Amino acid sequence: MVGGEEAFQAYLGRRGLKKTRQRDAIVREFVKARRHITAEDLHRTVARRHPAIGLVTVYRTLRLLEGAGLAKERRFGKTESCYEPVLGVGHHDHLICTACGGIFEFENVEIEGLQDRVASQHGFLIQDHKLEMYGICRECRKRGERRRR
């Protein structure tokens, strides 16, 4: 999402939508995050400098970013969604620790290749995919696999 802010404004213009201070502030913080973040967390961050901006507007802006192809919604646990900036290239997937809740990212070209093959074997035209692996991370294994919650 290099130059994400300009891309976002172009998107707004194209759709006859307006550039506002709130959207600017939200998009700026979202880009700074550089990692998946929940709407609530993003709101907290934005509200430090702009206390008047509501959570509702954060949700709306995230949906706009998604529409612009600049953010992607993810759902790891059973509860809230996370949003992550769409960086120029390179898809990544996630390793999620069920003990500490930590989320680790990785990329693997071979897996991607196999996925494409499976998809075309089934006659699918692939648009997106996600791979999530759940387990115990190195740290938690050392610590003795204590469970959270």
Partner DNA sequence: AGATATATTGAAAACGACTTTCACCTTCAC
Partner DNA sequence: GTGAAGGTGAAAGTCGTTTTCAATATATCT
Binding of DNA by 74 (CB under 7 A): no
Identified binder of DNA from the candidate list 2, 3, 10, 19, rule CB under 7 A: 19
Any contact of residue 10 with DNA (CB under 7 A)? no
Q: Any contact of residue 23 with DNA (CB under 7 A)?
A: yes
Pairing of strands 71-74, 82-85: antiparallel
**Whole-angstrom distance, CA of residue 101 vs CA of residue 85:** 21
How open is the CA angle 107-95-63, to the nearest 5 degrees?
80
- Side-chain-side CA neighbours of residue 143 (13 Å): 11
Give the number of residues in contact with DNA, rule: CB under 7 A.
Answer: 25
23 binds, among DNA, a second copy, none (CB under 5 to 8 A by kind): DNA
Q: What is the 8-class DSSP label of residue 1? A: -
28 alpha carbon, distance to own chain's centre: 15
Binding mask 28-57 for DNA (x = CB under 7 A): ----------xxx-----------xxxxxx
Stretch that binds DNA, among 27-35, 78-86, 105-113, 132-140 (CB under 7 A): 78-86
3-state DSSP assignment of residue 20: coil
DSSP letter at 121 equals H
Among the candidate windows 21-29, 38-46, 63-71, 117-125, which touches a second copy by CB under 8 A?
A: 117-125
Residue 134 near a second copy by CB under 8 A: yes
Tokens of 10: 């172009």
In terms of CB distance, is 18 or 138 closer to DNA? 18
Pick the binder of DNA from 2, 3, 20, 35 (CB under 7 A). 20
